[in-house]
Amino acid sequence: MKSTGLVAVLLVTFLSLGAWAQCGCEAPEAPDCYLAFKTTETIEFVLEAPIDYFMMHNTSVTPSIFGWRVETWDGTVVRTEIFPGDPVGRWTIMEWDLAADNGAIVLPGYYNIIVMTTASDVSYPVKIVEACRTFSGCFCGCYAPLACDNPCCIPFGELYLTLSVGETRSCSGLNFSMTFTFTCEEPAP
């Protein structure tokens, strides 16, 4: 009887490990810091040049932006935007709609947003989290993770990016928005 119980425990253990391995639950190597966004959100980002940047680099010239790109965590470029003509100022608000160059929405995972400037490339890691599926199809404890941030420290004397949620899309692809405009007029005498 004891051997039957031991065989059953071993069988359940091996089946659980096999299901877990097929499920894709393994965590990829994560960056030390990142901001998390859901697959239904776009990411707006701006290049920041703090006052200590100008002091550390002994310059009064503000870097300009040539364009930006997004890379997967292993370095594969998935999206590139180059500004036509002259570089734009650092106050330009850029937005990544989470689409690759081919127009398809990228898969959840870790990415690097890189802004190409006249001074250097400036990057910030992001984590894209699935927002529309609540549970995966496998039975191994996989579920849609929370979009928890682990923000990067602002580097002293260096350029950096600030990121925020731009727009939010629905999971079904159907968006409905309403705009109300209120105006104030002086009452007629």
In a domain, 32, yes or no: yes
DSSP class per residue in 98-131: SB-TTSPBPPSEEEEEEEEESS-EEEEEEEEE--
CATH number of residue 42's parent domain: 2.60.40.1930
Contact 5, 124 (CB under 8 A): no
Domains: count for the chain: 1
pLDDT computed for residue 170 by the predictor = 80
Residue 24 confidence (pLDDT)? 44
The whole-angstrom separation of Cα 20 and Cα 124 is: 31
Q: Where are the alpha helices (DSSP H) in 1-57?
A: 2-23, 51-56
Residue 189: inside a domain: no
Q: Is residue 176 part of a domain?
A: no
Q: Per residue of the chain (189 residues), give pLDDT as tens.
A: 566 666 665 555 555 554 444 444 445 578 899 999 999 999 999 999 999 999 999 999 999 999 999 999 999 999 999 999 999 998 899 999 999 999 999 999 999 999 999 999 999 999 999 887 655 444 444 444 556 788 999 999 999 999 999 998 887 665 556 667 777 777 766
Does residue 99 lie within any of the structural domains? yes
C-alpha to C-alpha distance for 177 and 67, rounded to whole angstroms: 31
Domain membership of residue 42 (yes or no) is yes
CA dihedral 109, 110, 114, 120 (to 10 degrees): -160
Query: Residue 100's closest CA among 164, 169, 39?
Result: 39
For residue 45, the enclosing domain spans 28-167
User: Which whole-number Å values give the CA distances from 99 to 6, 39, 103, in the listed order?
Assistant: 51, 10, 5
Question: Which three-class secondary structure string do you get for 57-100?
Answer: CCCCCCCCEEEEEEEECCCCEEEEEECCCCCECCCCCEEECCEC
Report the candidate in 87, 96, 98 with the shortest Cα–Cα distance to residue 63.
87
Let me know if residue 60 belongs to a domain.
yes
Is position 10 within any domain? no
Q: Give the CA distances from residue 132 to residues 129, 143, 150, 171, 173, in Å, rounded to whole numbers and listed in that order.
A: 9, 11, 22, 5, 11
In a domain? residue 150:
yes
